Copies of this chain bind each other. A is one copy, B any other.
Amino acid sequence: MTATIETGPGATAVRHQPAVRLAGVTKTFRDGGAPVLDGIDLDVAPGEFVCLLGASGCGKSTLLTIAAGLDAPTQGTVEVPDGRAALMFQESALFPWLTAGQNIDLALRLRGLSARRERRAEAERLLALVRLHGAYDKRPHQLSGGMRQRVALARALAQDSSVLLMDEPFAALDAITRDVLHEELVRLWEATGLAVVFVTHNVREAVRLGQRVVLLSSRPGRVAREWRVDIPQPRRVEDKDVAELSIEITEHLREEISRHGR
């Protein structure tokens, strides 16, 4: 039910137009410094759900920022044929001058929804989706860390982009809320054919959600290994298959990290 794909040229290539294509992406922050990302090739097919794993500081956030077009790679190319990919930032990054609802509203407005009533209804729907009924008028500083993350998720969903990049979206959520949102996210993904790149440190979460799990090595960040997850949805975090693959992936993660040394 699970398969390991060896990395290598062409291994991740998708036949048709991909939703996101990173080709040879290298990122160096200082002139002459060591590259953070080094020759990343990554294609995400339309409607594909890819989970990204890697040690803390290996360059996952940098990769997403580049994929979203917010930072230029030092070398290599980025293509997102459908326009810009929606990015949910690691720091929830809500605008402090707007309420939770207005943050979502702004994304809706900028996406082109002009009817105020419609926007309000949509924002309320998204807030309910992330289990934040009635938080429309709360200011970001009045929300808890997990609540802020959920509002950020709702805002990213409001963009209604065909590609969704998520940077540790559920890190600050309790297990139960997280389960609920896993379900919602999968339902949404199945319904809309969204391409998702999902960064997480929770290996089980990666296996629970992804069709493909990509492991990044660190210093420099390269694609170390990939797994295709063929366990049918609905999966649960507690499922035996999920647990088994998780253990295997964790093992590789451990290897990667010890290889690159302290």
Contacts and interface: CB of A to CB of B under 8 A. Distances in A.
A224 to B, nearest CB: 13
A172 interface: yes
Contacts of A7: none
B174 A145 contact: no
Interface stretch (A38-46, A52-60, A75-83): A52-60
A84 interface: no
Number of this chain's copies in the assembly equals 2
Interface stretch (A18-26, A105-113, A156-164, A250-258): A250-258
B145 A55 contact: no
Contacts of A250: 175-176
Given A56-B147, A146-B57, A253 B175 contact: yes
B171 A171 contact: yes
A63 to B, nearest CB: 11
A223 interface: no
A30 to B, nearest CB: 9
A87 interface: no
B201 A150 contact: no
Given A61-B145, A91-B145, A168-B145, A56 B174 contact: yes
B150 A56 contact: yes
19 contacts: A55-B174, A56-B146, A56-B147, A56-B150, A56-B172, A57-B146, A59-B144, A61-B145, A90-B172, A91-B91, A145-B168, A172-B201, A174-B253, A174-B257, A175-B201, A175-B202, A175-B203, A176-B250, A176-B257
